[in-house]
Structure 1
Amino acid sequence: MVQEDHKNPFKVQQVQKSNLDLEKRLTTNDKLLLTKLNGKKQLMLYATGVLYDSEEWEPLPSKSSADSRFKNVVELLRQQVFAIKYKIETQMLSPFMEYTCYLVFKLSEKCQGLHCPVKVRDLPRRRNKENQIIYFRSPASVNHHGAFWVPEQRKDGWMEVRIWKFNSKFDNNLGKDVIPMNLKLITCEGTMSGLIVCGLEFRPM
């Protein structure tokens, strides 16, 4: 919360204007989309420039897509592993909020795999947490005692699955103005061939 400075009555106005300018800049950025729901910030990142080959650390190639809210998507080939890396500016998010990150995706008609679980390693925090388990296809039998996340259908025709949770205040890299996101996704069997990623969506819980 911004406190009024009686010695400088224009300070609060300047801070508010700065926040508005930031949101305008972010909303028009070609890598992300910033929106609000019930006064809370939501953020969506393009898959382009965020998904990496985990061996060479080169961005995965993108292709155009007519049915994505973004112009380009990333379609994985025969990788068993890929990485997600990005530095989130804390000003992009509402403060003191728990956020969930969803990977927005589709499976191509040629995709025959991805029935098995996929491990998500949170590399900066891997000492404190075990690997998260996700699925890109809902498993035939669900163990309700298992700690894993399954995909859900979206209204826009895409699918989404939770891959990460964090707090916009306490996970901010020891007070710095960015939150490092560095995940590695590893399929337990086969490859990621046929996985089409539109982007990442960060929503407050």
Structure 2
Amino acid sequence: MPKHRRILYVEVRIEPQVVSPETRYAAYLAFKLPQDQSTSEAPIEVYDQNVYHGRSFIYLVSPPQTPVIGSKFHESTCNPPNRYKGNAIPQQRTDGWMEVKVWEFQTTTESVPMHLIFVHPDKKNLSGLMIQGIELRPK
């Protein structure tokens, strides 16, 4: 398997005339999973080349719930307050696509470069993942 199939590059220049000035935006990756979702279960590393050591993680499928064993027999084995609370959990959209927040930025009067690299940490193949695009929304 070629190495490059485990890496996805996104390079875009966001021009000031297409966004509101002095506004904080979030960028969402719109996607559909491949038939074999086992390659999408691990968190994907996202490197922001605009930030020195800018690294975060996203999920393409919801992470599994970690069971928590309670001290009493009647306590729940799943503790929702201890679940992952990041905003990198994918959400189902009404148009049938999934989305996950991958980046945030502040607009100025200058163009804003977006240079993101998505890497599968287990070196698994990302082919079959369908990308609709990146959607920008004010925060």
**TM-score over 0.5 for the pair:** yes
* Partner amino acid, structure 2, of 1:89: E
Q: Which residue number in structure 2 is paired with residue 197 of structure 1? A: 131
Q: Which residue number in structure 2 is paired with residue 155 of structure 1? A: 94
Is residue 8 of structure 2 the alignment partner of residue 90 of structure 1? no
How much has 1:178 moved relative to structure 2? 1.2
How far apart in 1 are the matches of 2:61 and 2:84? 18
Q: 1:81 to 1:178 in 2, by over 3 A?
A: same
How far apart in 1 are the matches of 2:37 and 2:84? 29
Q: Which residue number in structure 1 is paired with residue 40 of structure 2? A: 114
Q: Which residue number in structure 2 is paired with residue 138 of structure 1? A: 62
Residues 89-110 of structure 1: per-residue CA shift (max 9 Å, x gap): 0111011111000000001224
How much has 1:180 moved relative to structure 2? 0.5
TM-score, normalised with respect to structure 1: 0.54
Identity %: 33
How much has 1:148 moved relative to structure 2? 5.7
Shift >6 Å, 4+ stretches = none
What do you get for the CA RMSD once the two structures are aligned? 2.1
How much has 1:144 moved relative to structure 2? 4.2
Q: 1:88 to 1:116 in 2, by over 3 A?
A: same
| Secondary structure, aligned partner of 1:150 | coil
Name which structure has the greater RCO, CA cutoff 8 Å, separation 6+.
Answer: 2
Give the greater-gyration-radius structure (CA). Answer: 1
How much has 1:192 moved relative to structure 2? 1.0
Say how many residue pairs are matched: 121
**5+ residue gaps in structure 2?**
67-81
* Partner amino acid, structure 2, of 1:122: D
Residues 82-134 of structure 1: per-residue CA shift (max 9 Å, x gap): 1100111011101111100000000122443110010110002124x4x1110
Q: 1:144 to 1:167 in 2, by over 3 A?
A: farther
